[in-house]
Structure 1
Amino acid sequence: MNPSFWNNKNVFVTGHTGFKGAWLCLWLHQLGANVTGYALSPPTEPNLFHLCQIDQFMHSIHGDIRNRDHLQNAIEHADPDIIIHMAAQPLVRASYQHPVETYEINVMGTIHLLEAVRTLDRNRKNRVKVIINVTTDKCYENKEWSWGYRENDPLGGYDPYSNSKACSELVTSSYRQSFFHPNQFDDHGVSLISARSGNVIGGGDWAPDRLVPDCIRSLLKHESIKIRNPFAIRPWQHVLEPLAGYLLLAQSAYANGPKFAQSWNFGPSDHDARSVEWIAQYLCSQWGPDAAYEVEGEVGPHEAKFLKLDCSRAKDELGWVPRWSLEIALDKILEWTQAYRSNQDVRAICYKQIQDYQS
């Protein structure tokens, strides 16, 4: 990745108040980009967005991705070179409770974004050159294979969240073929991309019903960690891993749009696809002698038992490779948590970890 590329680039980020979006805005700011964010208020309290006072160095717009006119107006005024679409209802369990809302946000929200770009005045001096729709590894039809899913494997999704993200992928593919076809790039000038990442973890995530945030909450309260599905295996990765992939992908597509206008997987190395119980054990071992976990007996809604990504395309064509092992990722989360616990400047910790990752 070329840091100088981002200097003074106009970047529009949806979902910037979420955990992943906040880390992305911190990184973009460090790289010198002009960032505009569009999102609802942060979904949790506490949250990384407020803790790092991210609205002090970017233009933050309070908006609902389901409000097409408001979104289009925001994009027109931001005049972005690059759009990274991360606004979503991101939780599996919440999708069982609110399926209609999940589809409205994850499917129609994507359509509203792509329609906004499609109908922009193409005579503007600057125009959108790259759109990255961030989805999930759960968009694949999960057959519980022991090998990783490739970008051309069938899409599916058992639960409303996973299925809505598969639908978002199909919408992206349709708009790419219908309105932003790589073969007509000279006419429209837009590289439309989708990016699929594994289970993202990192400091400052307070989302409910996610393993690592649930573990951290329990550790901070001196309570026993409660886990479900202890043998479920996921492709865990630090949040900076896929974000590095998105930044590298946007930079590459900006220079050579047609080549990169496709779908991309960003996941950890095979040996970092570990079980839920392994994660709980490691966090407890690093936290201290009083930390413990237990397996809940309650049966919850369906969750996949095994899921892994094949990232050969990103490695071969982008030169992207995961840098941090799962152990390092978890250690970085504990470093961030201890800083938060002792009332240190967590924005400084975030910047330090970004620098550590880059070096």
Structure 2
Amino acid sequence: MEGLGVKLFDDVYAGRRVLLTGHTGFKGSWLAQWLGQLGATLTGFALPPATTPSHWQLLDVPATDLRGDVRDLSALDAALARAQPEIVFHLAAQPLVRRSYRDPLESWSTNVMGTANVLEACRRHRGVRAVVVVTTDKVYANQEWAWGYRENDRLGGHDPYSASKAAAELVAASYRQGFFGHDGAPLLATARAGNVIGGGDWSEDRLIPDLVRATSRGDSLEIRSPRATRPWQHVLDCLAGYLLLGQRLLQGDDACATAWNFGPAAEDNRTVASVLHLMQAHWPQLAWHVSAAAQPHEASLLYLDSSFARARLGWQPVWNLAQALAATAQWYRAQADGDAPTRRQVDAFVAAAAAAGMNWVAS
């Protein structure tokens, strides 16, 4: 990358035509920034940003910015015809559990039919060589086990969000087996990450954005489940997994055309209360209380086992939870002062990955 003297992901994205759905969202905008820094010829396809402020609108990514709904197959066809992508990263989704309870059909139509439409459009455009469909850690039939879910564990979902994402995994598997099994067809993988944190997230009903809003107002943060345990990780860690996976698919490694977990180290599976205590080092004024209102069902215990990605891809997290929270707090503080340090944080993450000897960084 520029100024760092390193080669990332075997330089496979330099000059590569990439279509990214959901580029106006939290994770999508971070991926757009990184792809831009990698020299990709990027086209984004998404609805307008769902929040104000918007991370995407704070960036200056060299990309063709197309607006549309993944539930509209004709719009997707037009986007692929224009972009002529060699690889597609599908991140567009309805990503919120509580919102899925309020409007379940939105989640089902976006997450299931939206994924089907993306894959159908890829099937129709012969230049596509690789597809990475991003789902979630919540695709598993959660048994509240004290060990991590592996990629071959049973899919399921109690709430509409989780169930619709599990169904998206089935859609992807169907396209992989039914349409993408012949020579010249795209190699298709799915990626399941943990509870992703980082600057630029202003979504509703997420812990860090809610914390930022509450502390900026001087309010006590209302939390729902202080003892709920989640696999917390920085957004750049899971994106490194997606990019590494995309690299391998573009290089023709058909063994990678399957499902993958990209979760944090076991010690970074922490309770909500534990994360809040750690965040007090960065926001000493942070105060919180537990909501007395009845809440819709959410899993209380969730772990991911990412040993498959570690063994087969050589992927592992770069930043631990303390580092991820420090970077997140630094991003929001800088943004409050009129700066959005996304590019610098990508560079800092890459430098840390190089120092740690990650296999996707070469001098």
Length-normalised TM-score, structure 1: 0.94
Which residue is 1:208 aligned to? Answer: 204
Which amino acid is the alignment partner of residue 307 of structure 1?
L
For residues 169-219 of structure 1, give each alpha carbon's deviation from its aligned partner in whole angstroms, at most 9, with x where no partner exists: 0000011110112xx3x2x33101100010110011000001111111112
SS across alignment from 1:309: coil
1:109 to 108, 111, 114: 114
Q: 1:356 to 1:220 in 2, by over 3 A?
A: farther
Of stretches 19-28 and 294-303 in structure 1, the one that deviates more from structure 2 is 294-303
User: 1: CA distance between counterparts of 2:146 and 2:59?
Assistant: 39
CA contact under 8 A between 1:332 and 1:353: conserved in structure 2?
Answer: no
CA contact under 8 A between 2:89 and 2:134: conserved in structure 1?
Answer: yes
User: 1: CA distance between counterparts of 2:221 and 2:276?
Assistant: 7
SS across alignment from 1:6: coil
Q: What is the CA-CA distance between 1:355 and the residue it aligns to?
A: 3.8
For residues 27-67 of structure 1, give each alpha carbon's deviation from its aligned partner in whole angstroms, at most 9, with x where no partner exists: 0011111110000001100010011244xx11010111111
Which amino acid is the alignment partner of residue 189 of structure 1?
A
Which amino acid is the alignment partner of residue 304 of structure 2?
L
User: 2: CA distance between counterparts of 1:229 and 1:13?
Assistant: 34
For residues 128-180 of structure 1, give each alpha carbon's deviation from its aligned partner in whole angstroms, at most 9, with x where no partner exists: 11101000010000000000000010000100000000000000001111011
2:14 to 3, 7, 20: 7
Aligned ranges for residues 212-251 of structure 1 at < 5 Å? 212-251=208-247
User: 1: CA distance between counterparts of 2:106 and 2:333?
Assistant: 36
User: 1: CA distance between counterparts of 2:144 and 2:289?
Assistant: 25
Which residue is 1:191 aligned to? Answer: 187
SS across alignment from 1:285: coil
User: 2: CA distance between counterparts of 1:269 and 1:317?
Assistant: 17
1:51 to 55, 58, 62: 58
Q: What is the CA-CA distance between 1:343 and the residue it aligns to?
A: 1.4
Which amino acid is the alignment partner of residue 136 of structure 2?
T
Q: What is the CA-CA distance between 1:329 and the residue it aligns to?
A: 0.3
SS across alignment from 1:109: helix
SS across alignment from 1:234: strand
User: 1: CA distance between counterparts of 2:323 and 2:337?
Assistant: 21
Q: What is the CA-CA distance between 1:346 and the residue it aligns to?
A: 3.3
CA contact under 8 A between 1:227 and 1:277: conserved in structure 2?
Answer: no
**Length, aligned pairs only:** 347
Q: What is the CA-CA distance between 1:221 and the residue it aligns to?
A: 1.9
CA contact under 8 A between 1:75 and 1:116: conserved in structure 2?
Answer: yes
Aligned ranges for residues 1-359 of structure 1 at < 5 Å? 1-2=8-9, 4-54=11-61, 57-120=62-125, 122=126, 127-181=127-181, 184=182, 186=183, 188-288=184-284, 290-359=285-354
Answer 1 or 2: which has greater helix percent.
1
For residues 65-124 of structure 1, give each alpha carbon's deviation from its aligned partner in whole angstroms, at most 9, with x where no partner exists: 11100111111210111100000000000000111111110000011111111122x3xx
User: 2: CA distance between counterparts of 1:219 and 1:353?
Assistant: 26
User: 2: CA distance between counterparts of 1:344 and 1:206?
Assistant: 16
What residue ranges of structure 1 are gaps of 5+ in the alignment? Answer: none
CA contact under 8 A between 2:30 and 2:342: conserved in structure 1?
Answer: no
Q: Which runs of 4+ in 1 moved over 3 A?
A: 345-359
SS across alignment from 2:128: coil
Q: What is the CA-CA distance between 1:308 and the residue it aligns to?
A: 0.5
CA contact under 8 A between 2:19 and 2:42: conserved in structure 1?
Answer: yes
Which residue is 2:5 aligned to? Answer: none
User: 2: CA distance between counterparts of 1:73 and 1:45?
Assistant: 28
What residue ranges of structure 2 are gaps of 5+ in the alignment? Answer: 1-7, 355-363
CA contact under 8 A between 2:331 and 2:340: conserved in structure 1?
Answer: no
CA contact under 8 A between 1:281 and 1:293: conserved in structure 2?
Answer: no
Which amino acid is the alignment partner of residue 277 of structure 1?
A
